[in-house]
Structure 1
Amino acid sequence: MPAMPSGAVIVRELAGRRRTTSSLLRPLLGIVVATAVLTAMPIAPASADTVHAGSANTVHPGKDPTLVRTTLGPIVGRDEGRSSGTYSWRGIPYAEPPVGSLRWRPPKPHRSWADVRRAQQFGSGCTQPGRFFSPSPNGPFYDLAVRDGLQQPVGEEDCLTLNVFRPSTSKHNLPVVFFIHGGSNVVGYSADPMYDGRELARRTQAVVVTVNYRVGIFGWLSAEGLGDGNSLSASGNFGTLDLVNALRFVDQNARTFGGDPDNISVMGQSAGAVNVWSLLVSPLSRGMVDKAIPLSGGLSTRTVASARAYADRVMQAAKSDHPSSGKSGIELLRSLSADDLVRVLVKHQLDATPAVIADGTVIPSDPYAVLESGVGRDVPVLAGNTLEEGKLFGSSVGAHKPSDYDRFTLQYLFDPDNPGTLTTSDLLKDEYLPVDKPGGWNDAAAALTDLVFTGINRDSLDALARSGNRSLYHYRFDWNQEPAPFDQVYGAVHAIDLPFVFRNFGRNVFSYAFSQQNQPGRLRLSDLMIASIRNFVDKGSPQHRGLGRTWNQWPASLVLDADDQHIQLGSTTDR
């Protein structure tokens, strides 16, 4: 989920959201060499910090179903119990920590280990400036302390881990769902409780993977001095390379967890969806994306020139804050701690990193041309948007009355079953009220929805349709049954479909929305959506008997909604 930039920054970001137009100038040989470099990166010897839980020679998967041997070494996970019906493996390292000399380098596959490694706790979220969808300063989880991390450095550079969830059965050749979190490619973490994969894995009978990847300036930086003749380093797309490396690990180890490596659905939301599209066009992930589920995001890139200009601004800001260091440029940035670098970005309002970069090696120079050429013609796509995406981003247009700190506190402590006397005017400034007046909050949010989300979604799906893809499906999520005043302030807001997709209605950033009164309808809607995902990842179509109607292909959209008791479906071709 993105946390939008404010002020003038948003204007620059919106202006650059559509396709890049430069031609494909990178020679084919360069792409082949880049692919070879990434696939041939060596595996280092076993680490001394391996958690010892017994000899690898004693691994007998039949005795403990969570004790498995990966390509890197044996791991033991958790049996989540009969009520959950799942096994999980958390915090599996798929790459070496990108610290020290590995900062702003392509991910190096993690060194192998011989002894059993415990994979029972989530790994740290990646270093980022704290926002609503960031981890707590206390660790990779969601609690009230998240508010204390707002605009502060949170997370760790040592963060390249992934998590695996699967049904606690002996079934094999299960579909695999590889989920990429959102956050403007600046924030987010795989341990967010919304992304807990247990219910999705059990209900879809699939192997569900959630992944951490470098975000912000650590994930995307194109600067003079990077590269050293290595086209992957020079690309600046370190977060994208992390995802390629993680996807390769999943592809190589799918059978270990009972999954089918020939049936991997790459799913992501918001910036995660942008990354899904990026993996679809990147030559480095070609053949590993069998199906795609991009939610609230489309194919969006930044030019090398804009990325270089951003890097120059960061270097200037760092030098102004650290004049006595005697260093400059990339040397200065490398010398700063991760937290100090984040502080520079926040102070100078430079934390809206340009991503993904159309560098010509990792990401084609004209990715839309590649998409239209047919690289994704045979990849079924299930895309989605929420009706009122833009209502998450009131801060970007100055619509919120409370500070982010106070708004987070209010929403975290709000009891949806005892809403009290809170009103819309407590949350929105007067100039946006009433919400349905011309130029009011509904109109302002609708403009953001189209400009940032639905427009780019149309561009991406239309490009695939022109390529000849005949397996394109789209939904519009209209559910807005939150207790007042959140039904007007947020409604069918960006990312509120995620708790329905994962069936996680416990404590998370949207907890204010889920009351006992609206529970029957939302649970039925969640079950319906998961049934569609199950059919899609299995057969390439979201159609199933429970819909009671035909899910027509793009440009039609299936409208998903429910009142407090019953599902309400519709259709639209609004473009």
Structure 2
Amino acid sequence: MAPHGPIVEASDGALEGLQEAALHVFRGIPYAEPPERWKPPQPVSRWSGVRRATAFGPAAVQPPSPAGSIYEISADHPQPMSEDCLTLNIWAPAGVSAAPVLIWIHGGSLVIGSSREGFYDGAKLASRGIVVVTINYRLGVFGWLAHPGLSAESPLGISGNYGLLDQIEALRWIRRNIAAFGGDPNNVTITGESAGALSVMYLMASPLARGLFAKAIAQSAYMITTPMLKERRYGLPCAEEAGAKLARALGTNDIAVLRAVPPGDLALRASAAGFAPFGAVDGHVLPDQLVDVFDRGEQAPVPLLAGFNSGEIRSLRFLVPPPPDTATEYEAVIRDRYGDLAGEYLRLYPATDVRESLYAGTRDALYGWTAERLVRKQASSGQPSYLYFWDHGYPAADSTGRRAFHGSEIPYAFGTADRSTSRWPKVPSTPQELKLSEVMVGYWSSFARSGRPQAANAPEWPAFGTSGHALVIDEDLHATCDLMPGMFALHEEVVRRRRAHDIAWNWNVGLWSPKNPVTT
């Protein structure tokens, strides 16, 4: 039977995709061999004949999303899952050559998510003349478990980071093959939100990813403490210790027995046991703490666009404690925990509205500080860097107290607001919202093209530079200097002191903060 879709002769084999308007779309392309559980990915073997690439591959095995969460994965259409999940999808303008490439790494706390989500459809961005790629990678216990038994199997004596190695293998596949789809392998931008943006930072820090991308976009990244593979640091167990603890909870320390546990059962049991997936500082895949890599200027020397949302915590309220009964109690705890920094903390997060101060303090300690730190470090290394602050609301989000919530910029940047699930606050199809989405698509696609965000009928977005420029994205887009005076300096000082005294900098913020050291 004659093929019906476009055929691409890629380096790893011929692929048949779909013609969708003026785009060639390829789904479910394997970029690695089916992975062995807790082993690094292997390059995909070249196939013979024409492989159909017309359907998404299965999602990585994962536990169910929290009931009722707006982030429930495919809430309307449950998706197949498999350990054989290392696939990617491509949207390419027909007839294009040497086009910029944008790679999307989905979020989901390194636990849930999939490249097939409707919000991640690359058609709108691809219509701007860029090749869009979305990738799957191993999640949860499958992607991030470290364990002494696994390290003993490795010639390097390391384990964990399998999901990150998957992402690097995907970048290598793209490097080899993307020219056949019309993309420029030398003009690749990695992009992600939340855990996807954490992954962007991991890739910027990893020597194994060096040279595989030319630019980066980090949406709501969080530069938290990274567990060491074999050593307790910053009050955290090492990654191998956390893996051994999980194994004990599962009733065995035998890697062979763990490998035999059915995948769905393993995902559920690991989640119930409280396993939290993160990268591990192993000296090879991740050489050091992200803060230290960026402090030394050893991260990838690439242009960067980064930002955060005003309402990050409004949809992540589990990250803050219940407010105390009185403003006096709130102020007393802050003064006890922050010591000589308490005055500045209370200036930024006052007792006059405790709930809002809890949201803002946690937002800034995680996402605001990270975004500004990223652009500051890239700017100081001589790279163009751009900072944004997403403060856009719309009725369905605002009415439920979720203005500018975590991830709410994604459908605007992809131009996919019409692809929302039933649980996502629905974006209205009004001229105002459509215009903002057009602007966002323009900024993101132009940055992928040239390293400079520009959009028609939109304000100029100045580089962060030495003046601290940022773009505020709300109902009236505008550039500003010194976005939140004092915010970065406070949280940078808190983290500096904690690093010096071996204390973690994670979600332990505000009322949950340990007593901060007075001196270093």
TM range (shorter): 0.7 to 0.9
Corresponding residue of 2:457: 546
**TM-score, reference length from structure 1:** 0.72
Structure 2 counterpart SS, 1:345: helix
Whichever residue aligns with residue 86 of structure 1, its letter is: L
**Which residue among 365, 370, 374 is the counterpart of 1:460?**
374
**Which residue among 216, 219, 226 is the counterpart of 2:143?**
219
Classify 1:482/1:440 alpha carbon distance in 2 versus 1 (closer, same or farther; 3 Å).
farther
Classify 1:308/1:120 alpha carbon distance in 2 versus 1 (closer, same or farther; 3 Å).
same
Structure 2: which 5+ runs fail to align? 232-237, 323-349, 489-520
State the distance in 1 between where 2:219 and 2:49 align.
39
Q: Deviations over 1:400-457 (max 9, x none)?
A: xxxxxxxxxxxxxxxxxxxxxxxxxxxxxxxxxxxx9945543332232123211222
**Which residue among 272, 294, 297 is the counterpart of 1:347?**
272
**Which residue among 239, 245, 256 is the counterpart of 1:313?**
245
Report deviation, 1:209. 0.2
Structure 1: which 5+ runs fail to align? 1-52, 320-326, 400-435
State the distance in 2 between where 1:437 and 1:65 align.
62
Residues 127-166 of structure 1 mapped to structure 2, 5 A cutoff: 127-131=61-65, 142-144=74-76, 155-166=81-92
State the distance in 2 between where 1:260 and 1:345 align.
40
Whether 2:79 is the aligned partner of 1:190: answer no
Structure 2 counterpart SS, 1:506: helix
Structure 1 counterpart SS, 2:249: helix
Structure 2 counterpart SS, 1:185: coil
**Which residue among 278, 284, 309 is the counterpart of 1:361?**
284
Whether 2:209 is the aligned partner of 1:285: answer yes
**Which residue among 459, 462, 470 is the counterpart of 2:383?**
470
Whichever residue aligns with residue 92 of structure 1, its letter is: I
**TM-score, reference length from structure 2:** 0.79
Q: Deviations over 1:119-141 (max 9, x none)?
A: 011111101111169999xxx97
Tell me, yes or no, if the aligned pair for 1:206 and 1:259 is still in contact at 8 Å. yes
Report deviation, 1:331. 3.0
**Which residue among 66, 71, 74 is the counterpart of 2:14?**
74
Corresponding residue of 1:525: 436
State the distance in 2 between where 1:374 and 1:440 align.
38
Tell me, yes or no, if the aligned pair for 1:133 and 1:183 is still in contact at 8 Å. no
State the distance in 1 between where 2:156 and 2:69 align.
29
Structure 2 counterpart SS, 1:103: coil
Report deviation, 1:66. 2.0
Tell me, yes or no, if the aligned pair for 2:372 and 2:387 is still in contact at 8 Å. no
Report deviation, 1:561. 1.3
Structure 1 counterpart SS, 2:211: coil
| Greater alpha carbon shift after TM alignment, 549-558 vs 241-250 | 549-558
State the distance in 1 between where 2:371 and 2:86 align.
29
Whether 2:44 is the aligned partner of 1:125: answer no
Give RMSD over aligned pairs.
Answer: 2.8
State the distance in 2 between where 1:226 and 1:550 align.
47
**Which residue among 308, 314, 335 is the counterpart of 1:391?**
314
Corresponding residue of 2:304: 381
Report deviation, 1:367. 3.9
Tell me, yes or no, if the aligned pair for 1:190 and 1:212 is still in contact at 8 Å. yes
Whether 2:486 is the aligned partner of 1:561: answer no
State the distance in 1 between where 2:446 and 2:245 align.
47
Number of residue pairs matched by the alignment: 446
State the distance in 2 between where 1:231 and 1:561 align.
51
Corresponding residue of 1:34: none
State the distance in 2 between where 1:470 and 1:70 align.
33
Classify 1:134/1:472 alpha carbon distance in 2 versus 1 (closer, same or farther; 3 Å).
farther
State the distance in 2 between where 1:532 and 1:249 align.
27
Whichever residue aligns with residue 198 of structure 1, its letter is: A
Whichever residue aligns with residue 452 of structure 2, its letter is: S
Residues 474-553 of structure 1 mapped to structure 2, 5 A cutoff: 474-483=387-396, 486-487=398-399, 489-509=401-421, 511-516=424-429, 519-544=430-455, 546-553=457-464
Classify 1:477/1:286 alpha carbon distance in 2 versus 1 (closer, same or farther; 3 Å).
same
Classify 1:110/1:133 alpha carbon distance in 2 versus 1 (closer, same or farther; 3 Å).
farther
Structure 1 counterpart SS, 2:150: coil
Whichever residue aligns with residue 496 of structure 1, its letter is: S
Structure 2 counterpart SS, 1:454: helix
Report deviation, 1:213. 0.2
Classify 1:134/1:106 alpha carbon distance in 2 versus 1 (closer, same or farther; 3 Å).
farther
Corresponding residue of 1:447: 361
Report deviation, 1:233. 7.3
